[in-house]
Structure 1
Amino acid sequence: MSHVDPNLRREIFGWHSHRLGMDMPVVRYGHWGPALLLFPTAGGDFLEAERMGLIQAVAHHLFSGRVQIFSIDSINNHAWLNHGVPIHEKARRQVLYSEYIADEVVPHIRGVLQNGSARIGATGASFGAFHAANAFFRRPDLFDTLLAMGGIYDLQPQFLHGFWNDDVYYNNPASYVPNLSEGHAMDLLRHHSRIHLVSSRGQWEHPHLTEHFSHLLHQRGIPHTLDIWGHDMPHDWQTWHRQLDYYLSERWG
């Protein structure tokens, strides 16, 4: 059952990812405009944003062609949220997921856009913001915009419990961003990207996590917006509805 306006273009597709060993569905909302890749929250799936009203909240932007949204599955339940898997295996699966984004999802979206070199946007809330930020900072040649809402940017200590290896380092933005090499990628981040870090001071939110990551970006001279909303904005969907709508209205393009 669809939870969006029946007149909104909505397509479900997907493929079997051999690197992940599972079918990975994708849903596209909208018919035109730049692409925004949407990551689900911790335990969510590719239809979570639709069920929780986020797509309907920004449907007017989709109808107008201001943006089209591609919402994908995570593998959190097979990795970071799977208590039966050792941490090094969780990290290995995160590496595979990052490769899936860069080598499977982005090329497919570029095919839809009929632009083989298009850089796209990335967004997500909560744990989705972590995945959006990781995709963005790992590959600024593929992504030009980041909107991270109520995110975490460091898997320590909640998920890693002191464990460390290269798989963790290269998929933990708070670790590798301070050490990014000068060169083309850093030039893209400093001069050809839009980065919005958004949080609030409402219930269940942890704005200090966003403020700390903003500090790391400042240290590297990476321009960005740090936007902390008020105490009436909880870490919940009603807040993310308003934040995504605002940024698509005022800060997009």
Structure 2
Amino acid sequence: MEVQYHKFYSPSLNRDMECKVYGHAGRPVLFIPCQDGRFFDFENFHMTEVWSPWIDSGEVMVFSIDTIDSETWSNKSGDPRWRICRYEQWIQYITDEMVPFMRNMANERNGWDGYPRILVFGCSLGATHAANLYYRRPDLFDRLLALSGIYTTEYGFDQYMDDLVYANSPVHYLANIAPDHPYIDMYNQQKSVICVGQGPWEIPDSTWQMKSILESKDIHTWVDFWGYDCAHDWDWWYKQVTYFVPYLLG
């Protein structure tokens, strides 16, 4: 498996950011680590082994990035307005800097000439971020795999609400999306999966909310609830990746 390390300055965040790339060709995949996670977690937690059939065959290239959760969602003692502004800068880093980087590499490696869209994947709080990116920007992300996430900003910001918190809380903004919004057609031409277990350490409440909202808006996302033995842990996420990725790549 080809592995690359990259470090470059982010104008959006005013700091250096690091990432790793796994694979030599194929569809670009953005992996967002769990809460407070780092760019090397995809490898350190053995997701490389689970994804290796698709990486080694040249079906996907996985780009694993850093979170800044310690400054934003996890920083409960910080000023909430500052924290959500900082989070929005991280979103801009992904959409304005990482997406072009990923597209350029995918075009170069595959001999493409265009604007390939991206599968975004995460577990736990990484799933929260992944779903937010997918539903906010279906023009950039055409596949979603969100495992064991929470889809309301209340997890990081409690009852605080402003324009940016709202804009990053899928439970809130999808509930109010207009029936004729063009994004609904885009979602329905794409593939998305939200999955959560109902066992130890899982919090399925907001996934139930998402299911209800998505159905009421006729947004076609596969929302799947696994059993009461399914825990909030890597061993279950490995099984879910193996189960859902063939559907998403098909």
Report the alpha carbon displacement of residue 250 of structure 1 after superposing the two structures with TM. 4.1
Please tell me whether residue 18 in structure 1 is matched to residue 15 in structure 2.
no
Alignment-mate amino acid for residue 29 of structure 1: Y
Report the Cα distance in structure 1 between the residues aligned to 2:159 and 2:192, rounded to whole angstroms: 29
Structure 1 residues 65-84: aligned runs within 5 Å: 65-84=58-77
**1:242 to 2:211 alignment:** no
In structure 2, distance between residues paired with 1:92 and 1:36: 26
For residues 162 and 241 of structure 2, what CA distance do their matches in structure 1 show? Answer: 34
Specify the alignment match of 2:168 in structure 1.
171
Pairing 1:199-214 to 2, within 5 Å after superposition? 199-214=196-211
Q: Report what 2:91 is aligned to.
A: 98
After superposition, residues 34-49 of structure 1 pair within 5 angstroms as 34-49=27-42
> Is the Cα contact below 8 Å between 1:94 and 1:171 reproduced in 2?
no
**CA deviation after TM superposition for structure 1 residue 178, in Å:** 1.9
TM-score computed with the length of structure 2 as normaliser: 0.93
Q: CA RMSD in A?
A: 1.4
Contact 1:107/1:116 (8 A) holds in 2 = no
Q: In structure 2, what is the equivalent of residue 152 of structure 1?
A: 150
> Could you tell me how far apart the structure 2 residues matched to 1:103 and 1:180 are?
24
Q: Residues 147 and 196 of structure 1 are in contact (CA less than 8 Å); yes or no, is this contact kept in structure 2?
A: yes
Q: Unaligned 5+ residue runs, structure 1?
A: 1-7
Q: Write the distance in 2 (CA, Å) between the matches of 1:213 and 1:25.
A: 32
TM-score of the superposition, structure 1-length normalised? Answer: 0.92
Contact residue 34 and residue 66 of structure 1 kept, 8 A: yes
2:156 counterpart SS class = coil
Partner of residue 196, structure 1:
193
- Counterpart CA distance in 2 for 1:178 and 1:206 is 20
Aligned to 1:32, the other structure's residue is in SS state: coil
Opposite residue 141 of structure 1, the aligned amino acid is: D
SS in 1 for 2:174: helix
Count of paired positions: 244
Measure how far apart 1:35 and its partner are. 1.1
- Counterparts of 1:202 and 1:58, CA distance in 2: 24
Greater mean deviation of Cα atoms: 175-184 or 222-231: 175-184
After alignment, is 85-94 or 240-249 more displaced?
Answer: 240-249
Shift of residue 99 of structure 1? Answer: 1.0
What is the one-letter code of the residue matched to 2:192?
A: I
- Residue 179 of structure 1 aligns to a residue whose secondary structure is coil
Which amino acid in structure 1 is aligned with residue 88 of structure 2? V
Checking the alignment, whether the CA contact within 8 Å between 2:76 and 2:156 is kept in structure 1 is no
1:57 aligns with one of 50, 60, 65 = 50
Distance 2:176 2:16 in 1: 35
Q: Look up the match of 2:124.
A: 126
Runs of 4+ in 1 over 6 A off after TM superposition: none
Q: Work out the CA distance in 2 between the residues paired with 1:167 and 1:207.
A: 24
In structure 2, distance between residues paired with 1:41 and 1:240: 12
Q: CA deviation at 1:84?
A: 4.1
Deviations 1:142-183 (A, max 9, x none): 010111000100012x32232111111111111111223434
In structure 1, the partner of 2:81 is 88
Which residue pairs with 1:5 in the alignment?
Answer: none
Distance 2:184 2:235 in 1: 34
Equivalent in 139, 142, 147 of residue 141 of structure 1: 139
- C-alpha contact 1:54 1:240 (8 A) present in aligned 2: no
Q: What's 1:4 paired with? A: none
The whole-number CA distance in structure 2 between the counterparts of 1:104 and 1:250 is 28
